[in-house]
Amino acid sequence: MIRLVSLLCAALFLAGCQSTPRSVPPPAPPPGQQVPGLFTPPPASSPASYRDLPGWQGAPLAASLEAFRRTCDRFSRRAWDAPLSRNAAWAGTAEDWAPACASLSTPLDDAAARRVFESLFVPVEIIDPEGKPRFTGYFEPMYEARRSPEPGFTEPVLALPSDFVANGDSPLQRLPNGTTRPYPPRAEITSNVSAPVIAWAHPSDVFFLQVQGSGRLVFPDGHTMRAAYAAHNGQPFKSVANWLIETGRITRGEGSMQGIRAWMDRASPDEVRQAMNINPRFVFFQSLPEGDAALGPNGAHNVPLTPLGSMAVDPSFHALGLPMFVQTTAPGLGGAWSGLLIAQDTGGAIKGPVRGDIYFGTGFDAGQRAGTMNAPGRLWVLLPRKVAERLYHNLGARPVAALETAPGMG
């Protein structure tokens, strides 16, 4: 069987780009109420027209519409007046988004969907005050696995152990005497495995599975299951690639998934363990059915990710579920690229108001394409009209004329 291992952008290993699902935050105060500590994005001085969006008229919308309908299902389960985000109350409430969700709930071709977006949403460009916009790509890896250890498949994929005590981002370990302590680092976990084992795989595959946060495991009988993120041990992420480079074990040009795996294949088991233990962060998984093979794992918004329809963002700045139009470039996207994506995931290295990680899909080809994605770009959030109006009004710069003219028509 061909090993389904993909090249991911070197930034994944040099900086850490782990996608970790988060729970829905508690409701925030009503939009428009000024609350210290809540983020308001620095938008352009006035809303954009759709004709300002590079490539809007030709952008395919089918994948994004599919993803947005799943988001609307999440919105419909919230209290009517509940803000979508504690940190980004500017994004409005479930009630604000209900008309748009209703209008896009039925199948539409691209032309009809474009008209609905143009009539109901206002594009607001988000500006990064630090001038560091960046878009990368990620994917769901597929790895060969076994149900019991055998040569080449010696590393366990672990489920949550019984001594794990959830405590936000600082989980605890319950000791036999009933006391607790911070959950230990990778080296201690792997030296005395007590957690249930989901499967066995190649050490480098398990390590990259933990970096990526989820993946599919394929067994010799053809059975496929999803190893979905369950929790991490609360320890900081440290780059194994940087350590391998700094200690002369690999060159900087080898600091990719393929380069690190090649080193692990030629190193001794003790050397591989030493390298893996440089990163004290350890991820536990849960076993899930594969489900719809065309869709990815559930993201932080608790909906399946849609290839080239979903994107991971920084929840410190943005509410999950928002449609976003992105203009960037990547060889894996055919060069210059523009498209509509739905914010449905988060990631440990996704930090900043104009920072996105585009989900490419599952397997080798998706990984190859995602590995080419690492470029600056621009980002517009598409907001219901009254949400955009309220945002600018709260900033003391309400552009009445721009908001009262149908987008793309003025």
Judged against a pLDDT cut of 70, whether residue 304 lies above it is answered with yes
Q: 18 or 137: whose pLDDT is higher?
A: 137
Tokens of 113: 């969907």
Q: Torsion over CA of 193, 196, 202 and 208, rounded to 10 degrees? A: -90
Q: What single DSSP character describes residue 121?
A: E
Q: What is the DSSP string of 261-307?
A: HHHHHHS-HHHHHHHHHTS---EEEEEEE---TTS--B-TTSSB--T
How large is the average pLDDT for residues 284-291?
A: 91
Tokens of 397: 């710069």
What proportion of the chain, given as a percentage, has pLDDT over 90?
A: 56
Among the residue ranges 66-80, 230-244, 279-293, 390-404, the one predicted with the least confidence is 390-404
Question: Do residues 149 and 138 lie in contact, with contact meaning Cβ atoms separated by under 8 Å?
Answer: no
**pLDDT number for residue 52:** 87
pLDDT, tens digit (0-9, with 9 covering 90-100), for 318-362? 999 999 999 999 888 889 999 999 999 998 779 999 999 999 999
Tokens of 401: 């004329």
What is the Cβ-side half-sphere exposure of residue 232, based on CA atoms within 13 angstroms?
25
In the predicted model, what is the mean pLDDT of the chain? 84
Q: Which CATH number applies to 50-136+296-404: 3.30.70.100, 2.40.40.10, 3.40.140.10, 3.40.50.720?
A: 2.40.40.10
**pLDDT number for residue 9:** 38
How large is the average pLDDT for residues 239-257?
A: 89
Q: Model confidence at 204, in pLDDT bands (50, 70, 90)?
A: confident
pLDDT, tens digit (0-9, with 9 covering 90-100), for 116-174? 999 999 999 998 888 889 999 989 989 999 999 999 899 999 999 999 999 988 999 99
Tokens of 132: 């560091």
Judged against a pLDDT cut of 90, whether residue 401 lies above it is answered with no
Question: Do residues 284 and 347 lie in contact, with contact meaning Cβ atoms separated by under 8 Å?
Answer: no
Q: 291 or 143: whose pLDDT is higher?
A: 143
Helix (H) or strand (E) holding 69: helix 62-76
Judged against a pLDDT cut of 80, whether residue 59 lies above it is answered with yes
How large is the average pLDDT for residues 83-97?
A: 91
Report the DSSP pairing between strands 310-312 and 335-345: parallel
Report the DSSP pairing between strands 378-384 and 374-375: unpaired
Phi first, then psi: what are they for 344, rounded to 5°? -130, 10
Residues in the chain: 410
Distance CA 108, CA 62 (A): 8
| Residue whose pair of structure tokens reads 């590393």 in the numeric block | 155
Judged against a pLDDT cut of 50, whether residue 5 lies above it is answered with no
How large is the average pLDDT for residues 274-284?
A: 94
pLDDT, tens digit (0-9, with 9 covering 90-100), for 98-118? 999 999 988 888 999 999 999
**pLDDT number for residue 271:** 94
**pLDDT number for residue 332:** 85
Judged against a pLDDT cut of 50, whether residue 12 lies above it is answered with no
Q: Model confidence at 280, in pLDDT bands (50, 70, 90)?
A: very high
**pLDDT number for residue 6:** 30
pLDDT, tens digit (0-9, with 9 covering 90-100), for 368-382? 898 888 999 999 999
The CATH topology of domain 10-14+141-289 is Ribosomal Protein L25; Chain P (2.40.240)
What ranges do the domains of the chain cover?
10-14+141-289, 50-136+296-404
Please state, in angstroms and as integers, the Cα–Cα distance from residue 347 to each residue in 43, 172, 315, 316, following that order.
23, 22, 9, 11
**pLDDT number for residue 29:** 39
Distance CA 19, CA 36 (A): 28
Q: Torsion over CA of 319, 320, 324 and 327, rounded to 10 degrees? A: 100
**pLDDT number for residue 294:** 82
**pLDDT number for residue 32:** 40
Tokens of 37: 């500590």
Among the residue ranges 4-8, 115-119, 187-191, 218-222, the one predicted with the least confidence is 4-8
**pLDDT number for residue 408:** 35
How large is the average pLDDT for residues 63-67?
A: 92
Tokens of 10: 């070197």
What proportion of the chain, given as a percentage, has pLDDT over 70?
A: 86
| Residue whose pair of structure tokens reads 């999950």 in the numeric block | 320
Among the residue ranges 73-82, 177-186, 309-318, 401-410, the one predicted with the least confidence is 401-410
Distance CA 203, CA 207 (A): 6
Closest CA to 17 of 302, 314, 336: 314
**pLDDT number for residue 22:** 35
Q: 26 or 77: whose pLDDT is higher?
A: 77
Distance CA 75, CA 82 (A): 9
Conformational region of residue 43, where left means phi above 0, alpha means psi within -120 to 50, and beta covers everything else: beta
How large is the average pLDDT for residues 20-41?
A: 41
Among the residue ranges 18-22, 148-152, 238-242, the one predicted with the least confidence is 18-22
